[in-house]
């Protein structure tokens, strides 16, 4: 099993990453504040606008450390990668599947089934854990609607219908988010999903979390040799990592949504952790990003019994496990792709 290494987050605008022999050195205003041997890192996520030295970038590329650049509002800007992993035969088969409507539909259906099923499981768990604080009838009604959609998804034969069902399920699921805030803090009231830009504190954290998750899914897919730009559910679009977004669907509710509302309801974040823009958009500020990333690492270090391989793995390794299963299925080592189902 792959070892979960560390991700280095450069959260401040004046952070600069340089190299000293086999170490990556973090500087703030020209002064060294930390250094890390490259052997303990697997990814660098940079929210800094000052940048990274060419020698540090070379060290990362030579050691397969993914370097990603993300804007302050969580939008992906670009990556620096080393040599492409895997063999051409795996990618050729991936492309053949993507070009075949029937074969790609099977992967797409399984991943969206995972997304909706895991969303429903979160609704059920929240209802069980907080039954004295919520509108039980509302949760049960939503459970029933999602259950119906799951049955329809299982029998769907074309992607347009699948996308329609996925959109309906997402709208139903997000309609319950205003009931998931049990903190008593109206700053975390949720109205609707807004993305570019996020327009409230909850959306700011969701967008930030989804962006981090997408980076980790991309790194996992690259590691096993797949092309993260060619997906089965998400269509091709210049610059869009479609396969990464496909994989993200399996983890949204389990890794990000639960995490965000845990931060809210445990009162680990407050309105002081956000930046409110004149245009109405809301972003995590430096303090908020630090809180989010600290708790995110703690979550990734926890163990879970993977339902398919029947082994305990760190939560942070889930994208890698699923990427490996996806590659095995594409190669023909597995008959059917087993998506992540909690």
249 a known binding residue? yes
Q: How far apart are CA 224 and CA 226, in angstroms?
A: 6
Strand 6-10 versus strand 41-46 pairing type: parallel
Q: Which backbone phi and psi does 339 adopt, to 5 degrees?
A: -70, 165
Q: How far apart are CA 93 and CA 103, in angstroms?
A: 11
Phi and psi based region of residue 286 (left: phi greater than 0; alpha: psi -120 to 50; beta: remaining): alpha
Closest of 130, 138, 160, 164 to residue 149, by C-alpha: 164
22 a known binding residue? no
CA 196 to chain centre: 17
Q: How far apart are CA 266 and CA 280, in angstroms?
A: 26
Q: How far apart are CA 215 and CA 8, in angstroms?
A: 13
130 a known binding residue? no
Q: How far apart are CA 26 and CA 14, in angstroms?
A: 10
Entry field: residues in the chain: 342
Strand 41-46 versus strand 31-37 pairing type: unpaired
Q: Decide if 247 contacts 210 (C-beta within 8 A).
A: no
Sorted by sequence, the CB contacts under 8 Å of residue 197 that are 6+ apart come out as: 73, 277, 279, 281, 282, 283
Which H or E element spans position 187? none
- For residue 84 the two structure tokens come to 């492409």
Binding-site residues: 166, 234, 249
Binding site for Mn(2+), by residue number, is 166, 234, 249
């Amino acid at each position: 099993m792959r070892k979960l290494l560390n991700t280095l987050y450069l959260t401040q605008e004046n952070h600069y990453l340089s190299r000293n022999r086999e170490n990556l050195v973090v500087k703030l205003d020209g002064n060294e504040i930390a250094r890390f041997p490259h052997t303990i890192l697997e990814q660098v996520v940079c929210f800094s606008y000052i940048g990274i030295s060419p020698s540090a970038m070379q060290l990362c590329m030579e050691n397969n450390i993914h370097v990603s650049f993300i804007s302050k509002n969580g939008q992906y800007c670009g990556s620096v990668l080393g040599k492409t992993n895997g063999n051409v035969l795996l990618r050729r088969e991936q492309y053949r599947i993507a070009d075949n409507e029937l074969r790609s539909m099977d992967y797409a259906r399984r991943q969206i089934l995972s997304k909706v099923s895991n969303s429903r499981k979160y609704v059920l768990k929240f209802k069980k854990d907080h039954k004295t604080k919520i509108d039980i009838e509302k949760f049960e009604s939503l459970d029933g609607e999602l259950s119906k959609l799951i049955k329809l998804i299982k029998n769907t034969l074309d992607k347009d219908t699948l996308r329609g069902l996925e959109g309906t399920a997402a709208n139903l699921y997000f309609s319950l988010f205003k009931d998931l805030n049990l903190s008593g803090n109206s700053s975390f009231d949720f109205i609707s999903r807004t993305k570019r830009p996020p327009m409230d504190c909850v959306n700011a954290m969701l967008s930030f979390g989804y962006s981090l998750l997408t980076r980790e899914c991309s790194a996992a897919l690259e590691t096993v040799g797949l092309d993260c730009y060619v997906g089965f559910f998400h269509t091709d679009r210049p610059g869009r990592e479609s396969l990464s977004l496909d994989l993200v669907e399996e983890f949204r509710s389990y890794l990000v949504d639960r995490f965000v509302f845990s931060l809210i309801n445990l009162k680990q974040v407050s309105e002081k952790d956000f930046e409110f823009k004149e245009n109405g958009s809301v972003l995590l500020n430096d303090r908020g990003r630090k809180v989010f990333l600290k708790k995110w690492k703690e979550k990734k270090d926890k163990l879970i019994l993977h339902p398919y391989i029947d082994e305990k793995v760190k939560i942070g390794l889930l994208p890698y496990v699923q990427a490996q299963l996806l590659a095995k299925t594409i190669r023909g080592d597995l008959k059917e792709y087993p998506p992540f189902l909690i």
